Amino acid sequence: MYFVLLTPFIKNLNFLKKKENILLSFGLGVIGVISNLLSLRGLELVNNPGYHRAVLSTSILITTFLSILLLKSTVELAKILGAILIMLGIILISIP
């Protein structure tokens, strides 16, 4: 899978000639490793993995709302329905 993701970079080695691109790639890699480690740690700490997944789903909501506010993304019916379903799922999981 990683080979497929890296293919554009392998084909275009000019990407690696700029120092800021190397630093950006390294920084994003470090952030990815840290987020995966924290996600695994979160799974260890909760009794119900559904809680962990619910928290991860909120990142989709945050990204959607920020893209609408900051990037002037279009508000489509599918986005609204998806956000409502995510919020309903989080509410249902949180009910004891």
Residue 11: is its pLDDT beyond 70?
no
Residue 1: is its pLDDT beyond 50?
no
Tokens of 43: 């799974």
Average pLDDT over residues 43-67: 82
Helix (H, G, I), strand (E, B) or coil at 74: coil
pTM: 0.53
- Give the pLDDT score at 62: 85
Whole-angstrom distance, CA of residue 8 vs CA of residue 15? 9
Average pLDDT over residues 52-77: 83
Q: Give residue 7's pLDDT band: very low, low, confident or very high (50, 70, 90).
A: low
Whole-angstrom distance, CA of residue 83 vs CA of residue 57? 10
